[in-house]
């Protein structure tokens, strides 16, 4: 049996102990992070997380030991995600916050041949500090519209020179570096994170917060409307349900001519409009002066009303305003619901 160095045994023991002291265990790739940026990242992690860089084989052994000590075999699933120059990062932050923190901590880095671009690379339009030379021809060969203006190289329009995931060529790396464009990122790349028996991958953790907030707001509005329509009273919907019931009861009472304090005005108004409608059909000599005056006023009002197209447009605007009002009321309820 091969002899195992004491320092390796001690390293595995310390790593396993570290894994047991924190609820969240993450694997990060530090292979492409230079020493100085890595030291700055350790400083930024202070009081938030502990980063320990070690050999991949020792990390694997530490994960197995921690799984045994904690009686949780799910921790061993992290072994599947060890790659590159892995490091262990333990923290009390939940995996989603940790992923967001690591992404926001990344810094721009110069182009490097043979490395895939993390996102689309754009050469912006405008003047550059570069003097005329062979570089102009190289740019044009790559589809970058460059020409000489006032003794300097100028880019004529924004140009996408690389799509996300495509490999940076030596020629393009040289051009980007001379233009001062930094398409790469330096930072800790999260490989996977473990919490409460679940292993999260970057694809799961990379959420669009604004999109999820919008989805929650829409879900709340739909739930609010459903609750009102099926008359399911809650703290947030009881007022709208009562208002809807009141208006429904009032409309029924008005149509039935049932006079109450709340319906008397509407019933009299309805009767008055019916009376004017009947008066329009009678000969003018049968009408008194007051009725003629009222009919004349009604005719002026009708004449001043917008044409059908204008009326439809106004109706749409009113409906949009009503929808906005309902959404504002629903979102106000959402704010109350989530504090």
Find, among 102, 64, 103, 101, the residue nearest to 82 by Cα: 64
Amino acid 310: pLDDT: 56
Q: For the segment 299-308, what is each residue's pLDDT rounded down to a tens digit? A: 776 666 665 5
Write the pLDDT tens digit of every residue in 107-121: 888 888 888 888 899
178 vs 169: CA distance, rounded Å? 14
What is the tens place of the pLDDT at every residue in 69-120? 888 999 999 999 998 888 899 999 999 999 998 888 888 888 888 888 888 9
Give 314 or 247, the one with higher predicted confidence. 247
Q: Is there a contact between 198 and 23 (Cβ–Cβ < 8 Å)? A: no
**What Å distances lie between residue 95 and 29, 194, 206, 226, 312, CA to CA?**
16, 7, 10, 34, 52
Q: Note if the pTM is more than 0.75.
A: no
Cβ–Cβ < 8 Å for 138, 178: no
Find all residues with CB under 8 Å of 155, minimum gap 6, and list them: 123, 124, 125, 126, 127, 128, 139, 144, 145, 146
Domain with CATH 3.90.105.20 in the chain: 121-171
257: alpha, beta or left, given left = phi > 0 and alpha = psi -120 to 50? left
* Sequence-separated (6 or more) residues with CB below 8 Å from residue 73: 67
Phi, psi for residue 268 in degrees, rounded to 5: -65, -40
The 3 state secondary structure assigned to 41-57 is: HHHHHCCCEEEEECCHH
Give pLDDT tens digits for 104-163.
888 888 888 888 888 899 999 888 888 888 888 888 888 888 888 888 888 889 889 889
With 90 as the cut, is the pLDDT of residue 195 above it?
Answer: yes
226, pLDDT greater than 90:
yes
Share of the chain above pLDDT 90, in %: 24
Give φ, ψ of 88 to 5 degrees.
Answer: -100, 130
In angstroms, the CA 123 to CA 143 distance is 11
Between 207 and 304, residue with greater pLDDT:
207
User: Regarding the domain delimited by 121-171, which CATH topology (the fold level of the hierarchy) does it fall under?
Assistant: Molybdopterin biosynthesis moea protein, domain 2 (3.90.105)
> Higher confidence at residue 284 or residue 10?
10
pLDDT computed for residue 253 by the predictor: 87
Contact 15, 52 (CB under 8 A): yes
Per-residue pLDDT for 295 more than 90?
no
**Cα gap 225→329, rounded to integer Å:** 11
Cα–Cα distance, 250 to 164 (Å, whole number): 62
SS3 86: strand
Share of the chain above pLDDT 70, in %: 87
CATH number of 6-106+187-206: 3.30.70.1730
For CATH 3.30.70.1730, the residue range(s) in the chain are 6-106+187-206
């Amino acid at each position: 049996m091969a002899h195992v160095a004491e320092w390796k045994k001690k390293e595995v023991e310390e790593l396993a102990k570290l894994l047991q002291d924190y609820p969240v265990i993450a694997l990060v790739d530090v292979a492409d992070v230079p020493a100085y940026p890595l030291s700055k990242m350790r400083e930024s992690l202070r009081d938030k997380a502990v980063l320990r860089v070690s050999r991949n084989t020792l990390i694997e052994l530490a994960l197995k030991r921690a799984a045994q000590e904690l009686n949780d075999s799910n921790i061993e699933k992290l072994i599947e995600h060890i790659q590159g120059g892995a490091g262990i990062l333990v923290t009390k932050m939940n995996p989603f916050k940790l992923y967001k923190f690591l992404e926001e901590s990344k810094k721009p880095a110069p182009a490097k041949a043979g490395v895939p671009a993390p996102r689309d690379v754009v050469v912006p339009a405008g003047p550059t500090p570069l003097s005329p030379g062979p570089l102009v021809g190289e740019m044009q060969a790559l589809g970058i519209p460059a020409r000489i203006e006032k003794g300097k190289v100028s880019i004529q329009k924004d140009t996408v020179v690389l799509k996300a995931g495509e490999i940076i060529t030596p020629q393009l790396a040289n051009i980007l570096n001379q233009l001062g464009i930094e398409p790469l990122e330096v930072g800790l790349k999260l490989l996977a994170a473990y919490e409460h028996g679940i292993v999260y991958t970057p694809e799961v953790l990379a959420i669009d917060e604004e999109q999820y907030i919008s989805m929650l707001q829409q879900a709340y509005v739909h739930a609010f409307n459903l609750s009102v329509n099926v008359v399911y009273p809650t703290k947030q919907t009881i007022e709208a349900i009562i208002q809807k019931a009141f208006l429904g009861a009032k409309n029924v009472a008005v149509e039935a001519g049932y006079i109450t304090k709340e319906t008397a005005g509407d019933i009299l108004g309805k009767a008055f409009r019916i009376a004017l409608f009947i008066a329009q059909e009678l000969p003018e000599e049968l009408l008194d002066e007051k009725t003629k005056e009222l009919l004349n006023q009604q005719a002026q009002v009708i004449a001043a009303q917008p044409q059908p197209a204008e009326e439809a447009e106004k109706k749409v605007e009113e409906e949009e305003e009503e929808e906005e009002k309902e959404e504002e009321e629903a979102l106000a309820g959402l704010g109350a619901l989530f504090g």
